[in-house]
């Protein structure tokens, strides 16, 4: 968390000011995947990745206007995203077969992984 403190004495000339610096996205949790629907599909099919903080911006900003569009990974293979918001991503299943973990990486921050099977 990013915090700043400021203390002032009203009857003295002394003032103590302590300010902690903030890095980008300090107050924004890492991306979190809640589900991938469906949880199995063939190459080229579109799946919906739902979750939170995919845009890596404060909740006070427009969730439909992502400043940081991340990458959806099926294992180590990146997918093409056709729609991207802070809570939902439509992605095409890339080449491959078998069980993989789907993750989202946004602004250099990885999400949790969710099991998926490429048919």
List, for residues 72-103, the tens digit of each pLDDT value: 999 999 999 999 999 999 999 999 999 999 99
pTM of the model: 0.76
Q: What is the pLDDT of residue 13?
A: 42
pLDDT tens-digit profile of 10-44?
454 444 333 333 345 567 899 999 999 999 999 99
- pLDDT band at residue 104 using 50, 70 and 90 as cut-offs: very high
Question: ∠ CA 70-72-76 to the nearest 5 degrees?
Answer: 120
CATH tag, 28-118:
2.60.40.10
* Residue 56 clears pLDDT 60, i.e. is over it: yes
The domain spans of the chain are 28-118
């Amino acid at each position: 968390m990013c915090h700043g403190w400021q203390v002032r004495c009203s009857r003295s000339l002394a003032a103590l000011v302590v300010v902690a610096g903030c890095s980008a996205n300090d107050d924004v949790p890492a991306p979190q995947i809640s589900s991938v629907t469906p949880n199995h599909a063939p190459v080229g099919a579109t799946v919906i990745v739902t979750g939170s903080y995919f845009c890596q911006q404060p909740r006070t900003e427009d969730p439909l206007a992502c400043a940081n569009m991340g990458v959806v990974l099926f294992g180590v293979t990146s997918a093409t995203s056709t729609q991207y918001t802070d809570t939902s991503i439509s992605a095409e299943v890339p080449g491959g077969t078998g069980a993989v973990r789907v993750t989202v990486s946004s602004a250099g921050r990885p999400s949790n992984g969710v099991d998926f099977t490429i048919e």
